[in-house]
A and B are shown apart, each in its own frame.
Chain A
Amino acid sequence: MSKGFDPTFMAVGLQWLFAALVSISFGPSTFAQKTGTLRMLIDPATGLEFVVDHKYRMQQREVKLGEGLHHFSVWAPERRVVDTTVFVIADRTSDLVMRLPFSVEYQQYRSDLGRYEDGKLMRQLSPLVLVGGLVWTGLSVGSYGKAKDQLDEDRTAYDASVDPASINRLKIDIDQHNADFRKARTSLFAGTALSVVGAGVITYVWHKTKQHRKPTFEDKEKVIFEGLSWMPGQHGGAWCAGVTIPLQR
């Protein structure tokens, strides 16, 4: 058996050499990198955005990431930016359950808006008190005038009467007419008082709300969130767009 060059041995050796080179060159990226799926079960359901590992801005509800610990900065309109870290397990689907709290600015905005709306409602409703008072006063003036006229007629009838029995009946009627007059007068006073109160309410409400302006919401958390993925470079930097790399496909 010759001890010379064995082509078969050489072919097998080349195969092993090629396999070794491939393993050395691409091994860590093709065989060691495994991914897991993370589902974002986050309140609110709409408008959600997040930055993964301080670089990749994303919006989808499900992401595939390499196994390991990942940092998330999660934000939604009107909500605070929340930072958290999640360990993604390879070949598994995990849930990130979270509720983003409302931002301080948004809570303040809601409070200011509520105060503005209340003031607006008060400005609209306050004239009703005055209108009610004026209507009441107007009706009472009519009743008061009738009652007063009736008493004037009674007084004239008394002075002109020459019938003792009629005078006796008239005095009984006058007692009733006096009661009607007092009732009408009380109603007139109440209507007048309500009108005065209504005018006072209008003055007070308009004075208290004249400085009110409709508040506007400035989402400072959004500014903070958008600054998270700012990547400074030699020429000032650039905004980064987030992408998902489906490594297993």
Chain B
Amino acid sequence: MKYAQGAFILFAVLSLLGSCKKAEIDTDALNTNPFDRDYTGEAIFSFVAERTLPYPLDTTFLNFGTKLEVDARVNTALFPKPTSYVVRYALPSGDEVIVPLADLDDDVITMTVLDVEPGTTYCFFPRLGNNGSYGPGNTVCGTAE
């Protein structure tokens, strides 16, 4: 009987030790928030459509170039709660474009690159931002026609 009591106490102590370990937070495993720079979950930006369009190179409207527009949807269902946000993406030239929420139509952002070559694939890396800082993003590509 004494041994049984001792074993029970030992089991209780070991259980306590085990439960204590679980209470710690592994910051490397914190990657489920879409506003976290370490986010590794489902893609935030998903490809919707692409268009290759001519655009005027000057005001005479005699010379035209070709541009590629890629539509991507912001997957707001991943957000922990409804919130405002902005999207920033880099052009192939290196320049960055910031798109406010007001410019989005039904959470769809249109990313444009000028002077495209037909048959060439162009990729964008839009990032989600809020309150002046930016978090994660993912690559969205389109092919010029």
Contacts and interface: CB of A to CB of B under 8 A. Distances in A.
A154 interface: yes
Contacts, number: 67
Interface string B28-63: 001011011100000000000000000000000000
Counting chain B CB atoms within 10 Å of each CB, the highest count among A154, A166, A167, A189 belongs to: A167
A142 to B, nearest CB: 15
In order of increasing CB-CB distance, the 9 nearest A-B pairs are: A164-B135, A165-B133, A162-B83, A164-B133, A163-B131, A167-B36, A164-B35, A171-B27, A148-B23
Contact of A168 (B37, B83, B85, B132): B37
Contacts of B33: 158-159, 161, 167
12 contacts: A151-B24, A151-B25, A155-B25, A160-B81, A162-B81, A162-B85, A163-B133, A164-B37, A167-B35, A168-B37, A177-B25, A188-B20
Given A159-B33, A161-B80, A167 B24 contact: no
Given A165-B132, A171-B30, A151 B37 contact: no
A95 interface: no
A23 to B, nearest CB: 96
Nearest to A152: B23
A225 interface: no
Contacts of B126: none
By size class, the interface of chain B is 20 to 34
Given A164-B133, A165-B131, A159 B24 contact: no
Interface string B115-145: 0000000000000111111110000000000
A144 to B, nearest CB: 8
Interface of B: 13, 17, 20, 23-25, 27, 30, 32-33, 35-37, 79-81, 83, 85, 128-135
A185 interface: yes
Interface of A: 144, 148, 151, 154-155, 158-168, 171, 174-175, 177-178, 181-182, 185, 188-189, 192
Contacts of B85: 162
A159 B32 contact: yes
B80 A160 contact: yes
A154 B131 CA distance: 20
Contact of A158 (B23, B30, B79, B130): B30
Contacts of B130: 162-164
B69 to A, nearest CB: 27
A177 B30 CA distance: 15
A151 B134 CA distance: 25
Contact of A164 (B23, B25, B134): B134
Given A160-B81, A161-B80, A165-B131, A175 B35 contact: no
A207 to B, nearest CB: 13
Counting chain B CB atoms within 10 Å of each CB, the highest count among A144, A154, A164, A182 belongs to: A164
A248 B117 CA distance: 151
Nearest to A186: B20
Contacts of B135: 164, 167
Contacts of B32: 159
Contacts of A189: 17
